[in-house]
């Protein structure tokens, strides 16, 4: 069965364009909304696999999208959330990832022009993964770490690997992107876990913890 999608954006033209793109790729767009209240009704009625949400929506066009995303995750945990933003707003990303990074995405709207990457992000969050825009990650990695943060001990290559992990890439995907062997990436990932003092747990969970640990250490 196709993945089901709910869309929320107050720009009708953009909303229609994304819906058309998704349908052309085999997704089932089960509902659209222009404000948080309408989106909650769509999610309650249609139980979509993914809600794609603009961060800035009526009435104030500030953080309504982030707030409704948090409410959806609380009330309808089966529905993954992919937030779209016009600008790099790292504080919103940290809030979004503060409790649980599974089934979460944060992309810049410009990323929609990279159609394959956008569609991959939708599928990834639907499967319980994480999709964070690489532009956002690059901006956050470029900022100085908080005093005493253990992320300061990471090497430049480990920062690259952690950035790719935050985008939701697998070890194989990171190896392809960085043109390294998968075994080399496994070594870097193990080193990141050790330097961030993450306890032995399933690797999927530790990957999320590593990303959260890193983002929380940045100010």
Q: CATH number for the domain including 211?
A: 1.10.10.10
The answer to the question of residue 153 being in a domain is yes
The answer on 157 and 83 residing in a single domain is: no
Q: Cα–Cα distance between 7 and 39 in angstroms, integer? A: 8
CATH number at residue 128: 3.40.50.2300
* Short-list 183, 50, 197, CA closest to 123: 50
Residue 153 is predicted with a pLDDT of 78
Are residues 110 and 8 located together in one domain of the fold?
yes
Q: Please check whether residue 182 lies inside any domain of the structure.
A: yes
- Whether pTM exceeds 0.95: no
Q: Residues 56, 94: one domain?
A: yes
Maximal C-alpha separation, the chain: 50
The predicted pLDDT at position 219 comes to: 42
Does residue 67 form part of some domain? yes
How does pLDDT run across 76-133, given as a tens digit for each residue? 999 999 999 887 666 666 666 655 667 888 888 877 778 888 999 999 899 988 888 7
What angle do helix axes 156-166 and 134-142 make, rounded to 10 degrees?
140
Residues, the chain: 219
User: What is the residue whose two structure tokens read 């790292």?
Assistant: 90
- What is the domain range of residue 79? 4-132
Give the CA angle between residues 105, 109, 112 to the nearest 5°. Answer: 85
167 and 122 co-located in one domain: no
Give me 10's structure tokens: 């107050």
- Per the domain annotation, does 156 fall within a domain? yes
> Quick check: is 160 in a domain?
yes
What the block records as the tokens of 109 is 């709207």
> Would you say residue 108 lies in a domain?
yes
Q: Is residue 137 part of a domain?
A: no
Instruction: Please indicate, yes or no, whether residues 111 and 182 belong to a single structural domain of this protein.
Output: no
Stretches where the chain sits below pLDDT 50 are: 143-149, 218-219
Give yes or no for a cis peptide into 59 (omega within 30° of 0): yes
Spatial separation of the C-alpha atoms in residues 27 and 121, rounded to whole Å = 13
């Amino acid at each position: 069965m196709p993945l089901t999608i709910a869309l929320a954006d107050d720009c009708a033209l953009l909303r229609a364009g994304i819906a058309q793109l998704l349908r052309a790729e085999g997704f089932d767009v089960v509902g659209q909304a222009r404000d948080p209240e309408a989106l909650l009704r769509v999610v309650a009625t249609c139980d979509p696999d993914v809600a794609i949400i603009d961060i800035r929506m009526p009435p104030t066009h500030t953080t309504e999208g982030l707030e409704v995303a948090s409410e959806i995750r609380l009330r309808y945990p089966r529905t993954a959330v992919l937030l779209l933003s016009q600008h790099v707003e790292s504080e919103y990303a940290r809030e979004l990832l503060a409790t649980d990074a599974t089934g979460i995405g944060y992309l810049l709207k410009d990323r929609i022009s990279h159609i394959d990457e956008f569609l991959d992000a939708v599928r990834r969050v639907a499967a319980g993964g994480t999709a964070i825009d690489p532009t956002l990650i690059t901006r956050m990695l470029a900022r100085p770490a908080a005093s005493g943060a253990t992320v300061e001990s990471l090497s430049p290559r480990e920062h690259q690997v952690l950035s790719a992990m935050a985008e939701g890439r697998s070890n194989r995907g990171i190896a392809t992107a960085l043109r390294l062997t998968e075994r080399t990436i496994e070594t870097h990932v193990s080193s990141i876990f050790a330097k961030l003092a993450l306890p032995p747990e399933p690797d999927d969970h530790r990957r999320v913890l590593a990303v959260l640990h890193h983002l929380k250490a940045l100010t």
